[in-house]
Amino acid sequence: MTHAKPDNLLHVLHYGIDNPVTADLGYMPGFRDVYDDQQIAELTAYIRARYAPSQPAWKDLMKISEQVRHSVHRYEAPMSTESLIHNAEQAVFEAAHQWMDAGHRVFLFTVVRTWGSSPRPIGSIMVLSDDGRIAGSGFGRVPRG
């Protein structure tokens, strides 16, 4: 969030995280098929303002989002659905365990119902720590109770 350019964050928002570097990071789907460039630009601006408030706002986010959308994305052979779900769930629970060991409270969210063009299926999970860290992906927008 503190980089001078938004390219990395935009790439993650468009294409997701297929192979997390660490279990703490977790799997995240891309949203390029769910959100248009205006929505991704607005989300990027919000994330920058929320998590790097001392940094200047990024400029031309919609234009850069369009460029990222049309860039070549590295293709990797897809994992089986079962392996992908297992890896994603394991990363979420590992993150929750680490955060609890560090003395934090965690909140586990599970998608129990979907409608419309829901970006995640029923059963998707996400964990949120009391200091705002997130692992997993259960919601395309703001979680609702």
Specify the pLDDT at position 87: 61
Per the model's pLDDT, the better-predicted residue between 143 and 85 turns out to be 85
Q: Which residues contact 111 (CB under 8 A, 6 or more apart)?
A: 118, 120, 121, 122, 123, 124, 125, 138, 139
Q: Give me the half-sphere count of Cα atoms (radius 13 Å) on the Cβ side of residue 105.
A: 2
**Over the stretch 43-101, which tens digit does the pLDDT of each residue have?**
999 999 988 899 999 999 999 999 988 876 554 444 555 555 556 677 788 888 888 99
Specify the pLDDT at position 77: 47
How far apart (Å, rounded) are the C-alpha atoms in residues 11 and 137? 16
Instruction: Tell me the CA end-to-end span of the chain in Å, nearest whole number.
Output: 28
Specify the pLDDT at position 144: 46
Specify the pLDDT at position 142: 44
**Over the stretch 102-126, which tens digit does the pLDDT of each residue have?**
999 988 887 777 777 666 677 778 8
pTM score, whole prediction: 0.50
